Amino acid sequence: MDGFPILSVMLAVPAIAAIACLFLSAEGARWTALIATFIDLALGILLWLNFDIGGAQWQFVEQGIRLGFFSWNLGIDGFALMLIMLSVFLMPICIGASWRSVTTRVPEYMAAFLLTEVLMIGTFAAQDLFLFYLFFEAGLIPMYLIIGIWGGANRIYASYKFFLYTLLGSLLMLVAMLYMAGTAGTSSIPALQAYDFPAGVQTWLWLAFFASFAVKMPMWPVHTWLPDAHVQAPTAGSVILAGVLLKLGGYGFLRFSLPMFPEASGELTWLIFGLSAVAVIYTSLVALVQADMKKLIAYSSVAHMAIVTIGLFAFNRQGIEGAMIMMLSHGLVSGALFLCVGVIYDRLHTREIARYGGLSINMPRYAILFLFFTMASIGLPGTSGFVAEFLALMGTYQVSTWTALLCTTSIILGAAYMLYLYRRVAYGEIPSDEVRAMPDLSSRELWLMAPIAAVVLWMGVYPESFLAPMRKDVAVLLQRIDRAAPASDSRPTAGNPAAAAAHGAEHAPKHEATPGEAH
């Protein structure tokens, strides 16, 4: 792979295809988009195969031209590799999911999706602070158009809310970035990860980055844009939003907040833990009472993302690995759940749970897949969700017993709202003739979901494939942040056998020897 700029090519392919789509017919645009995303998937697989596990921290590095304030520097580590894989894996599925359901302005739609892919890959591959910002922020434009043009009835409100919420967060981050580049004299991310900002400054910078990533994540209480955006977005838009765009926040914490501001991260862990614990319990309870399927899954996303944040800020290997697996797992599972909603929405044109029922009778294949993804979302052993939750919560337990206790309720509450959803949709009597007339999955729909199911199972049974590329990066990160790790709140005593043995023999004299001791 020496010399071949594979990351730039991965950016160029969808970019060129996006422009081409604008000049094509609807059918031409569909095929162009599908082929382009498959090429990127193939390139992604090539990337993974050629990734030297345990090798250099930054691989496939490209040092490009410098344009005034940023350099075209690309390169990936294990974290970025996994998230790029997630993006390129979900993109063909998104295009396929929109094959029949999007009928208006298809060329623009496909162009917007391809543009989103460029920006996602760019965000993960950028090695320059401002290049990262460009990609990170530019993602707003295509997503705004996707929600606003092809969304549901209340799409305009949702698109504004999505855009302005995330913009406000990111702009504060920009001010922090300007300061960092000015102080450190470089905008290279690897260099900044090794630069030590004074502790007092770190807190401010951390908060500015937090403003952006917390919104993107989204964390309670700035999560309110997410349910609106999800509900109104078209199916594929929801898939990409839940699948990849929500991961930008977690990736940001991992790439910027932790390694660049370790002291501030250590000090403000209580904030992350507190907000995450609230998020888990509150949004899970909110999810329980939703009448709209997409909204329910959106709230469950907030709860799952809270597990990511506590894992990241546990400052230990299990926590960080669990958080990464949670991001990957949630990207696949919630994406698949949105596809499941999309399948029945395409048939009945409603997302209201009460309108459905008994789908296991007339749509058995659908019911099986839906059940599988429901279980994966709950975190059943054997699926990716279990690995993720187990690792993240175990890591957290070492730091904060209370947080782990509160966040573990997510497993119970998650089971409650997901199974309740499944019962209402798949079991019981078929409520109407319309529902009875719904056909089972077509082969296209089956082919959209089967690969996701396979990967979810793979990640659940043999997570080593996904953990191996990240192992060294976690070690590097831990080495960097270890000095600021927060103290654990549980203080297990190692036991004191000597004292216990001496206890019986010397009880009386010792008691008398220390009369001042309070009893």
Partner 1 sequence: MDYAANLAMTLPELVLGVGAVALMLVAAWGGSGSTRAVSWAAVAILLGAGIALTGPAGSGGVAFDGLYRADAFSTFAKVLIYGATAVAILMAPAFFQRTSGDDLRPEYPVLLLLSATGMGIMVSASDMLTLYVGLELQSLSAYVLASFMRRDTRSAEAGLKYFVLGALASGILLYGISLVYGFSGTTQFDAIAGAYATANRSMGLLFGLVFVFAGLAFKMSAVPFHMWTPDVYEGAPTPVTAFFASAPKVAAVALGVRVAIEAMGPALVEWRQIVIFAALASILLGAVAAIGQTNIKRLLAYSSINNVGFALIGLAAGTPEGVAGVMTYLAIYVVMTLGSFLVVLQMRDVAGQPVEAIDSLAGMSRTRPALAAAMAIFMFSLAGIPPLFGFYAKFAVFSAAVDAGLFPLAAVGIAASTIGAYYYLRVVKTMYFDEPATAFVKGDEGPLAGGLIALSAVVISPLGYLLIPALAAWSIAAARSLF
* Interacting residues toward partner 1 by CB under 8 A: 66-69, 105, 108, 130, 133-135, 137-138, 140-141, 144-145, 148-149, 155-156, 159-160, 163-164, 167-168, 171-172, 174-175, 178-179, 182
| 59: three-class secondary structure by DSSP | strand
Rg (CA), the chain: 24
Cα separation, 414 vs 422, whole angstroms? 12
Torsion on CA atoms 244, 246, 251, 253, rounded to nearest 10: 180
In the complex with partner 1, the residue whose CB is nearer, 144 or 225, is 144
In the complex with partner 1, the residue whose CB is nearer, 38 or 160, is 160
Q: Dihedrals φ, ψ of 353, to 5°?
A: -60, -40
* Ramachandran quadrant class, 4 (left: phi over 0; alpha: psi -120 to 50; beta: rest): beta
Q: Which helix (H) or strand (E) holds 136?
A: helix 129-138
In the complex with partner 1, the residue whose CB is nearer, 173 or 407, is 173
| 351: three-class secondary structure by DSSP | coil
In the complex with partner 1, the residue whose CB is nearer, 109 or 315, is 109
In the complex with partner 1, the residue whose CB is nearer, 182 or 516, is 182
The residues pairing with 67 across neighbouring beta strands, listed in sequence order, are 70
Cα separation, 98 vs 89, whole angstroms? 16
Cα separation, 262 vs 420, whole angstroms? 41
Smallest gap from Cβ 33 to partner 1, in A, equals 18
Cα separation, 308 vs 302, whole angstroms? 10
Give the count of beta carbons closer than 10 Å to the beta carbon of residue 130: 18
Smallest gap from Cβ 82 to partner 1, in A, equals 25
129 in Cβ contact with 279 (< 8 Å):
no
Smallest gap from Cβ 133 to partner 1, in A, equals 7
Smallest gap from Cβ 220 to partner 1, in A, equals 21
In the complex with partner 1, the residue whose CB is nearer, 105 or 347, is 105
Cα separation, 246 vs 328, whole angstroms? 11
Written as six digits, the tokens of 36 are: 């382009």
In the complex with partner 1, the residue whose CB is nearer, 159 or 396, is 159
Written as six digits, the tokens of 427 are: 């079991």
In the complex with partner 1, the residue whose CB is nearer, 69 or 427, is 69
Smallest gap from Cβ 228 to partner 1, in A, equals 15
Written as six digits, the tokens of 486 are: 């927060």
In the complex with partner 1, the residue whose CB is nearer, 108 or 445, is 108
Smallest gap from Cβ 181 to partner 1, in A, equals 8
* Residue 38: exposure state from Cβ atoms within 10 A (0-12, 13-18, ≥19): middle
Smallest gap from Cβ 311 to partner 1, in A, equals 30
Smallest gap from Cβ 136 to partner 1, in A, equals 8
Query: Where would I find the H helices in 126-268?
Result: 129-138, 140-150, 155-184, 189-193, 199-216, 225-232, 235-240, 247-252, 258-260, 262-267
CA terminus-to-terminus distance, the chain = 73
Give which of 63, 62, 145 is closest to 108, Cα–Cα: 145
Smallest gap from Cβ 66 to partner 1, in A, equals 8
Smallest gap from Cβ 179 to partner 1, in A, equals 5
Smallest gap from Cβ 182 to partner 1, in A, equals 5
In the complex with partner 1, the residue whose CB is nearer, 212 or 309, is 212
Smallest gap from Cβ 441 to partner 1, in A, equals 32
In the complex with partner 1, the residue whose CB is nearer, 158 or 426, is 158
In the complex with partner 1, the residue whose CB is nearer, 138 or 438, is 138
DSSP 353-383: GGG---HHHH-HHHHHHHHHHHHHHHT-TTS
Query: 435-454: b or e for each residue (b if 16 or more CB lie within 10 Å)?
Result: beebeebeeebeebbeebbe
* Ramachandran quadrant class, 379 (left: phi over 0; alpha: psi -120 to 50; beta: rest): left
